Amino acid sequence: MTSPAKLTVALVQQSNSDNAEQNMAKSIAAIREAANKGAKLVVLQELHRSLYFCQTEDVDVFDLAETIPGPSTHTLGELAKELSIVIVASLFEKRATGLYHNTAVVLENDGSIAGKYRKMHIPDDPGFYEKFYFTPGDLGFEPIQTSVGKLGVLVCWDQWFPEAARLMAMAGAELLIYPTAIGWDPRDDSDEQTRQKDAWVISQRAHAIANGVPVISCNRVGVEQDPSEQSEGIQFWGNSFIAGPQGELLAEANNTDEQILVIELDQQRSENVRRIWPYLRDRRIDHYQDLTKIYRD
């Protein structure tokens, strides 16, 4: 274990507008509030600078992308240094003209970039046309070492894949972190909305259980309209949460409001859970070869 035995963490669930400066100012204010409440690690939601622009395919949207290092990492790095905290941010990364990523970046408490993770699983569904914008990540599933521990940072669609969580845990991740932008089609009935949200929570709580590590899942909230007017937009369902190493819910936001969740994690307990439930010890890797196939015909 490389993280402190007790670690206060926070996540910021917020709504967004088409004004990037206002969105960033809102995030910064929430980070300051979380730090004032003792947080040493603060997680922001997926693509927190802007609206979720993947509802349509529009080449002009690429103007939102920025380099890493760049303006946002400079601003958040200065804030991390001022507050002596670690920040997990989520940016539309411009790697080169015509080459863009959905990237989570971790700012260390001295203002430096501790590392970044490029989203590996890229969805392509109605209202979530991410393959138009994002090249699949090429950095693999590598945890990022920080002053508050080894962080297994993944992004949104990655949260549905147990392989991603497992590989992060196998590489020593002490926390799994999921910046997220997921919501309902407003035309779905309430039963379908409940099934979708419950599946999302259960999936990530299962990652906590199967790997014996806490999970921080930070989603956005609010209704964002479809610029093409071909649909009724997306109602982002919030429900950001922090779960312990046995999947227990430690803190959970609602599905309508901007909220900041702050909780103290007992990392020594996480260590003890992994000793009592030694999933890594009992894995039968000699019989898992077929996992490298797309499907067993």
First to last CA, the chain: 41
Angstrom distance (rounded) from CA 264 to CA 88? 17
- Residue 156 annotated among the catalytic residues of the structure: yes
- Residue 119 annotated among the catalytic residues of the structure: yes
- Residue 218 annotated among the catalytic residues of the structure: no
Q: Active-site residue among 26, 40, 46, 54?
A: 46
For residue 81, the surrounding DSSP H or E stretch is helix 71-83
CA neighbor of 243 nearest in space, from 220, 269, 221: 269
Count of H-run helices and E-run strands, the chain: 6, 17
Angstrom distance (rounded) from CA 37 to CA 254? 20
Name the DSSP class of 7: E
Q: Active-site residue among 93, 156, 174, 197?
A: 156
Neighbouring C-beta atoms of residue 24, cutoff 10 Å: 19
Neighbouring C-beta atoms of residue 111, cutoff 10 Å: 17
Q: Active-site residue among 119, 130, 150, 174?
A: 119
Known catalytic residues are: 46, 119, 156
